[in-house]
Amino acid sequence: MHTSLALLLELGVILLVLSGLGALARRVGIPPIPLYLLAGLALGEGGLAPVPAAGQFVQAGATIGVVLLLLTLGLEFSTAEFAHSVRGHVPSAAVDLVVNAAPGAVAGWLLGLDGIGILALAGATWISSSGIVARLLSDLRRLGNRETPAVLSVLVMEDFAMAAYLPVLAVLTAGGEWWQAVLGVAVALSAVAAAFFASHRWGHHINRWLAHPDDEQLMLRVLGTTLVVAALAEFVDASAAVGAFLVGLTLTGAAAERARAVLAPLRDLFGAVFFLSIGLAVSVASLVPVLPAALALAVVGGVTKTYTGWVAAGRDGAGRRGKLRAGTALIARGEFSIVIIGLVGAGHAVLGPLVTAYVLLLATLGPLITRWAGSRSPAPSIA
């Protein structure tokens, strides 16, 4: 029973350390993701304390973590909100894609990456962390502000775009020929269409079966279905993450609300394990040479996101300070950039360390910058 003793002990200590780091992050006002990544780095190759026994669990947990992150994202998605965002903010989303993906693509080309590497890096610099940003807006009490709907609309469209982007990347990474990539994308797109059709047509049947009144049954059914669909998606090279996202899309209404509530603790646990595993896969020594590139990308990424938010908030008629708040709120990159790297392989010599450093910088600085940009308000006048 020696192995299980070591496993329990290592896992317990890891979770306690993560809890301590999470509490610390809350106190300083930054999201816990960068600290989880740092913890992974510290435990990994060339780090402070290697954890051989917990390694396998972390690996398996990370796979489930990605699935749960995408599932809850799909659960939060509503067609009505997406349609609303499309009506008002397609130009903002276009600006978002062009100005934020371009720096990543150019950097990838300068670093001599192959096509897949360039595509992955462009995706990693493009996508903001909807988890971090939504949490920030709530914590900074900005939900009442004029610019907030614009920021949230940009996030919704980014999340949706990921449903097309991730399968493309997954197929290309799997070493497919161009026709396999086209086929994979076609499969993924028809799966998205089918999920929408299914949720529209038979949504209430699926919902009724999944939404068992007993919470335990609900959790087991939703999780089981998601893992099976994720496995099928992986089988056709369309990425397990996309499969999970589709299951989330199919569930709607009260069922989605309850599923979110029962899955939240699981998502938090396995999500943390996933960030930890990315840190584990990157060696500290490989981080140092990419730091200058990551720093340069972070500076550019901060500026381009601020511009995106500026444009989006301007469309909703926000003033100069509102536009600045919107822009800086979007700076934080997080779970998606990491998911992209997880897909390509965190072990990739340049990409893994580069994007890890990039997310470390922007997930930490983004929230601090937007806090600062919003706090320079004149003392509230007595109305």
Partner 1 sequence: MDVNEVLLPGVGLRYEFTNADGQRIGIVARRTGEFELVDYPRSDPDEGRPLFRLTAEEADTVAEILGAPRIAERFADLTREVPGLSAGQISVPAESPFAGGTLGQSRARTRTGASIVAVVRGETVIASPAPSQIIEAGDVLVVIGTHEGIAAVREIFRG
Site residues, partner 1 (CB under 8 A): 76-78, 80-82, 84-85, 130, 134, 137-138, 141-149, 152-153, 155-156, 213, 254, 257, 318-319, 321-322, 325, 377-378, 380-381, 383
Nearer to partner 1, 179 or 216 (CB): 216
Q: How far is the CB of 322 from partner 1 (least distance, A)?
A: 4
Nearer to partner 1, 59 or 138 (CB): 138
Q: What share of the chain is helix, strand, coil (3-state, %, to 5)?
A: 80, 0, 20
Q: How far is the CB of 297 from partner 1 (least distance, A)?
A: 27
Half-sphere exposure of 357 (CA within 13 A, CB side): 22
Q: Are 359 and 295 in contact (CB under 8 A)?
A: no
Nearer to partner 1, 56 or 138 (CB): 138
Nearer to partner 1, 4 or 377 (CB): 377
In whole angstroms, how far apart are CA 21 and each of 17, 18, 27, 268, 363?
6, 5, 10, 14, 15
Q: Are 129 and 150 in contact (CB under 8 A)?
A: no
Residues in Cβ contact with 110 at an 8 Å cutoff, skipping those fewer than 6 apart: none
Nearer to partner 1, 235 or 372 (CB): 372
Helix 253-281 to helix 55-76 angle, to the nearest 10 degrees?
140
Q: Is 349 helix (H, G, I), strand (E, B) or coil?
A: coil
Nearer to partner 1, 112 or 380 (CB): 380
Q: Is 282 helix (H, G, I), strand (E, B) or coil?
A: coil
Nearer to partner 1, 150 or 355 (CB): 150
Q: How far is the CB of 2 from partner 1 (least distance, A)?
A: 45
Q: Are 361 and 298 in contact (CB under 8 A)?
A: yes
Half-sphere exposure of 304 (CA within 13 A, CB side): 25
Q: How far is the CB of 224 from partner 1 (least distance, A)?
A: 22
Burial bucket for residue 84 (CB in 10 Å: 0-12, 13-18, 19+)? middle
d(CA 343, CA 167): 10
Nearer to partner 1, 155 or 244 (CB): 155
Q: How far is the CB of 373 from partner 1 (least distance, A)?
A: 12
Residues in Cβ contact with 173 at an 8 Å cutoff, skipping those fewer than 6 apart: 116, 343, 344, 345
Q: Tell me how far the alpha carbon of residue 274 is from its chain's centroid.
A: 11
Nearer to partner 1, 231 or 254 (CB): 254
Q: How far is the CB of 141 from partner 1 (least distance, A)?
A: 4
Q: How far is the CB of 313 from partner 1 (least distance, A)?
A: 9
Q: How far is the CB of 255 from partner 1 (least distance, A)?
A: 13
Q: How far is the CB of 312 from partner 1 (least distance, A)?
A: 12
The full DSSP string for 35-75 is HHHHHHHHHSTTSSS--TTTHHHHHHHHHHHHHHHHHHHHH
